[in-house]
Homo-oligomer: A and B are copies of this chain.
Amino acid sequence: MNHTSFFPKNIQVALKNDPPGAWMPVLPKECIRLSSGYPAPELVPSKQMKAAVGSLIEEEQDLPFHYLGSSRAASLQQQIQSRLEKRGIRVSEGELLITSGACQAIDLIARTLLDEEAVVAVESPTYMEALEMFKNYTNKIIAIPIDEYGLKTDKLEMVLEERKRNDLPLPRFLYTIPSFHNPTGTTMPFERRKHLLELSVKYDFLVVEDDAYGELSFNDSVVPCKAIDPEERVLHVGSLSKVVAPGMRIGWIAGNKELISACKWFKKDLNHPFSQATMAIFLEEIQFEERINWLREMYQNRCNTMLKALEQFLPSSITWYVPQGGYFVWVKTPGVDTSRLLEQALAMGVSYVPGKYFFSNQEDGTEFLRLSFSYSDEEDIVDGIRKLGELFAPYYNG
């Protein structure tokens, strides 16, 4: 019996794409993981989390183990509202939905806004998980290039104007990571953000702002798009994965209440009271501002170490963008297909993510790779980059 015949046509089409997560092989155990967009092990507050569980159960006994009823789980909503307010984003209760990380947030937005007919615009390159999620709904993906200042809004305007002139459908939304972009580490300046929002009004589309790294700026704080959005065009996606711990699965969507209400309607995993209540207590017990400042400093140190090592060990034809925050450095390797060298890199004991997986058209990304400075310590970062220097040297000498 052929079980796949039970799938509706759109599901059968989606299942023909690359399977989710196909981009990375399992890493060898002793590998320096410059591929992993994980927080550093020593920056994950595991002991405080244990203490938070202790306080929680002392205080609430069985309540966080039921579907509903934990006042702590409920208070997470207010805490996230306060965090957002500090970043210039004011939302009421009905304008915020807590999700299982940014991934579920993006998927819910796709679920409520996309169908086979819908056009969606993305940055090129962009977060590969988001690409996968959109491709589960539509094949009509428009890729807009980015440069060292993030999304090229002038190019976006040209594309939109041309589509309008040719009577082609305009995108339902544009998905952007404006701050400390994944994978390129770039950040959109204020003027581009303004321009993007003007375009969203003029060409009637929504903006999905993935702000997972937004608080991790090395220098000045960055103004989120959602903070300059009087027309409620922006759905702001946030996460505690990069500033607390991904394994707790806490993210959110903030935005217009009709849109949030629809996302809530289609969110069918219910709440996660135990994780949410634990996180709420943890957030109450720490000084979040101090934690953020500490993380910024730690990640900036790692980033500087990586940039110095890149200068020292990589052939001079290889270039990269200098990030102002976040987790990633985006590296260009002219003439060299990084996906073909990955196996050799792993054998040498270092990993990276080949650039092509971040592109809707993978051929555009063969000469790039993404390095993460978040997970490895500074010694390993230097060692890893030295190995990459050895890996790439033969392709550029002579």
Binding site for B on A (CB under 8 A): 1, 3-4, 6-11, 14-15, 19-20, 38-39, 41-42, 44, 46-47, 49-50, 53-54, 57, 61-62, 64-67, 70, 99-101, 103-104, 106-107, 112-115, 117-118, 129, 133, 136, 172-173, 206, 231-232, 241, 245-249, 256, 258-259, 262, 264-266, 268-270, 272-275, 278
Taking a contact as CB atoms under 8 Å apart, the answer to whether A67 and B8 are in contact is no
A241 contacts which chain B residues (CB < 8 A)? Answer: 67
A115 contacts which chain B residues (CB < 8 A)? Answer: 8-11
Given known A57-B47, A61-B46, A112-B11, contact A247–B232 (CB-CB < 8 A): no
* Known contacts A38-B67, A67-B241, A107-B269, then 13 further A-B pairs from the complex at CB < 8 Å, ordered by chain A residue: A3-B256, A6-B206, A9-B115, A15-B262, A38-B66, A46-B57, A46-B65, A66-B245, A67-B247, A100-B272, A104-B268, A136-B268, A249-B274
Given known A11-B112, A206-B6, contact A66–B269 (CB-CB < 8 A): no
Q: Considering the chains assembled together, what is the distance between the CA atoms of A41 and B270 in angstroms?
A: 20
* A312 CB → nearest B CB, Å: 30
Taking a contact as CB atoms under 8 Å apart, the answer to whether A6 and B172 are in contact is yes
* A252 CB → nearest B CB, Å: 13
Taking a contact as CB atoms under 8 Å apart, the answer to whether B3 and A265 are in contact is no
Residue of B nearest to A61 (CB): B46
Q: Considering the chains assembled together, what is the distance between the CA atoms of A67 and B37 in angstroms?
A: 9
A274 contacts which chain B residues (CB < 8 A)? Answer: 49, 245, 247-249, 275, 278
Taking a contact as CB atoms under 8 Å apart, the answer to whether B113 and A7 are in contact is yes
Q: Considering the chains assembled together, what is the distance between the CA atoms of A46 and B57 in angstroms?
A: 7
Residue of B nearest to A10 (CB): B115
Our pick among B14, B62, B268, B278 for the contact of A265 (Cβ within 8 Å) is B14
Our pick among B99, B118, B275 for the contact of A275 (Cβ within 8 Å) is B275
A10 contacts which chain B residues (CB < 8 A)? Answer: 115
What are 29 sample pairs from A and B whose C-beta atoms fall under 8 A apart?
A: A1-B231, A1-B232, A4-B262, A6-B172, A14-B265, A15-B262, A20-B264, A41-B61, A42-B62, A46-B61, A47-B57, A49-B57, A50-B53, A65-B245, A65-B248, A70-B247, A99-B269, A100-B269, A103-B269, A104-B269, A104-B270, A107-B268, A107-B269, A245-B274, A249-B269, A272-B272, A272-B275, A274-B278, A275-B275
A270 contacts which chain B residues (CB < 8 A)? Answer: 100-101, 103-104, 246, 249
A39 contacts which chain B residues (CB < 8 A)? Answer: 66
Q: Considering the chains assembled together, what is the distance between the CA atoms of A49 and B259 in angstroms?
A: 37
A118 contacts which chain B residues (CB < 8 A)? Answer: 8
Task: Determine which residue in A8, A50, A70 has the highest number of CB atoms from chain B within 10 A of its CB, and name it.
Answer: A8
Task: Determine which residue in A39, A268, A278 has the highest number of CB atoms from chain B within 10 A of its CB, and name it.
Answer: A268
A50 contacts which chain B residues (CB < 8 A)? Answer: 53-54, 57
A9 contacts which chain B residues (CB < 8 A)? Answer: 115
Our pick among B49, B54, B117 for the contact of A8 (Cβ within 8 Å) is B117
Q: Considering the chains assembled together, what is the distance between the CA atoms of A132 and B86 in angstroms?
A: 37
* A138 CB → nearest B CB, Å: 10
Taking a contact as CB atoms under 8 Å apart, the answer to whether A7 and B49 are in contact is no
Given known A53-B50, A172-B6, contact A262–B11 (CB-CB < 8 A): yes
* A305 CB → nearest B CB, Å: 21
Taking a contact as CB atoms under 8 Å apart, the answer to whether B272 and A3 are in contact is no
Taking a contact as CB atoms under 8 Å apart, the answer to whether B232 and A7 are in contact is no
